[in-house]
Structures are given as C-alpha cells and as structure tokens.
C-alpha cells in the first residue's frame, strides 16, 4: 500500500497564535513515520467566509472550493485545536463545515484550558456527523505546558507524556488510515 497522506491543520488564525508550534511539532513526529507523507495546512492560507454567509464574495467562494479540493488529497487529518470559551475556534469549525472528511480518520492536538479537552470533545462529535472516524488518543497540552513553551522557551518534546501521546495517536491514525483507505477503494 502506498504512503498515507496526512494533513496537519493549523486550527487558529489569531494574531500571536500558539497553533503553529503544536502543528509543526506533531508534523515532525508524524513525518518520521515511513508510512506517512505529511503536509501542514494553515487556515491563514484559506480565508473563507462563514458557511451560509450571504456576503461571501466570489474570491471567498473560490477559496472555499480550493480548500475542499485540497482536503480531498488526504487520507487523514490532525487538527490543532485551541480552546476558547470551552470550544474550538470559530474559524476551525467553519473550515470543518466547509470540508469533506467522509470515511477518513481525524486526530487532535488540543491546548488551552484543560489541554483543549472540551474543544476536542466537541470536534469529535462534529466529525461523527461528517462520517469521519476520530482516533482514541488525543494530545492535550495543558495551560502550564502551553505557558512554558510560549513564554519560557521550553519545547513540547520536553514533556515525555506529550511525545508518548503523539506517538500513540499517530499509530492509531495509521491503523485507521490504512483500514479506511482500503474500504474506500472497494
């Protein structure tokens, strides 16, 4: 079987965002796996109107179509999920709503309050409705770890439990990715 193509999606567009750090980190871990080809997708490169917004310009609609087309290239996805007010960012939710993920695995690297767990749990429910499969293991960067990386120069690799969770998550993503790719080919 050919390599699985995995997208790591940077799930925040805020100025001064943290999302690039966990996206780069998880991509580096994933790319070390010979079964995977990994690409980072940044939502800053896909400025889309919100789903159903009447004022969407043709350029914004073209960007949404470019986003959908790009997503179709992948066999699975890892999303960075910042937690704001107990949920994921609006821009990430919108990008998911505008995408296509049927019969593909998804994984999450959450951060913020309680390691982004509440945002990740909401995203898992959303993906069930999109006929995607969420892997069991999440990577949850707690607020003290977030601060140490953002402000004190620590690395996410300094936290053995995060590295272990990332490796377990990627093992699961590969398993589901192979199973679902084979099933989609039938």
Q: What is the largest CA-CA distance in the chain?
A: 50
Q: Examine the pLDDT at 181 and tell me if it is beyond 80.
A: yes
Q: Examine the pLDDT at 5 and tell me if it is beyond 80.
A: yes
Other CB atoms within a 10 A radius of the CB of residue 5 amount to 15
Q: Are 17 and 150 in contact (CB under 8 A)?
A: no
- Chain segment 42-78, per-residue pLDDT in tens: 999 999 887 666 555 566 678 889 999 999 999 999 9
Radius of gyration of the chain (CA): 16
* Average pLDDT of span 175-184: 97
Query: What is the torsion angle, in degrees rounded to the nearest 10, for the CA atoms of residue 129, residue 134, residue 136 and residue 142?
Result: -90
Residue 59: its pLDDT value, please? 67
Per residue, the 3-state secondary structure of the chain, as one string, reads: CCCEEEEEEECCCCCCCCCHHHHHHHHHHHHCCCCEEEEEEEHHHCCCCCCCCCCCCHHHHHHHHHHHHHHCCCCEEEEEEECECCECCHHHHHHHHCCCCCCCEEEEEEECHHHHHHHHHHHHHHHHHCCCEECCCCEEECHHHHHHHHHHCCCHHHCHHHHHHHHHHHHHHHHHHHHHHHHHCC
- Chain segment 112-152, per-residue pLDDT in tens: 989 999 999 999 999 999 999 999 999 999 999 999 999 99
* Average pLDDT of span 101-115: 95
Query: What pTM was computed for the model?
Result: 0.94
Residue 183: its pLDDT value, please? 96
């Amino acid at each position: 079987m050919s390599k699985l193509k995995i997208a790591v999606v940077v799930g925040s567009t805020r100025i001064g965002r943290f999302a690039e750090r966990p996206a780069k980190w998880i991509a580096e871990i994933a790319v070390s796996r010979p079964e995977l080809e990994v690409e980072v997708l940044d939502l800053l490169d896909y400025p889309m109107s919100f789903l159903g917004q009447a004022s969407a310009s043709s350029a914004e609609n073209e960007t949404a179509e470019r986003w959908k087309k790009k997503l179709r290239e992948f066999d699975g996805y890892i999303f960075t999920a910042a937690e704001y007010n107990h949920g994921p960012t609006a821009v990430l939710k919108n990008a998911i709503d505008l995408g296509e993920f049927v019969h593909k695995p998804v994984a999450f690297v959450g951060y913020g309050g309680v390691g982004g767990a509440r945002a990740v749990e909401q995203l898992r429910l959303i993906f069930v409705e999109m006929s995607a499969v969420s892997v069991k293991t999440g990577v949850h960067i707690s607020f003290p770890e977030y601060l140490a990386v953002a402000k004190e120069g620590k690395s996410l690799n300094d936290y053995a439990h995060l590295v272990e969770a990332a490796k377990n998550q990627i093992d699961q993503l590969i398993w589901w990715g192979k199973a679902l790719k084979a099933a989609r080919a039938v």
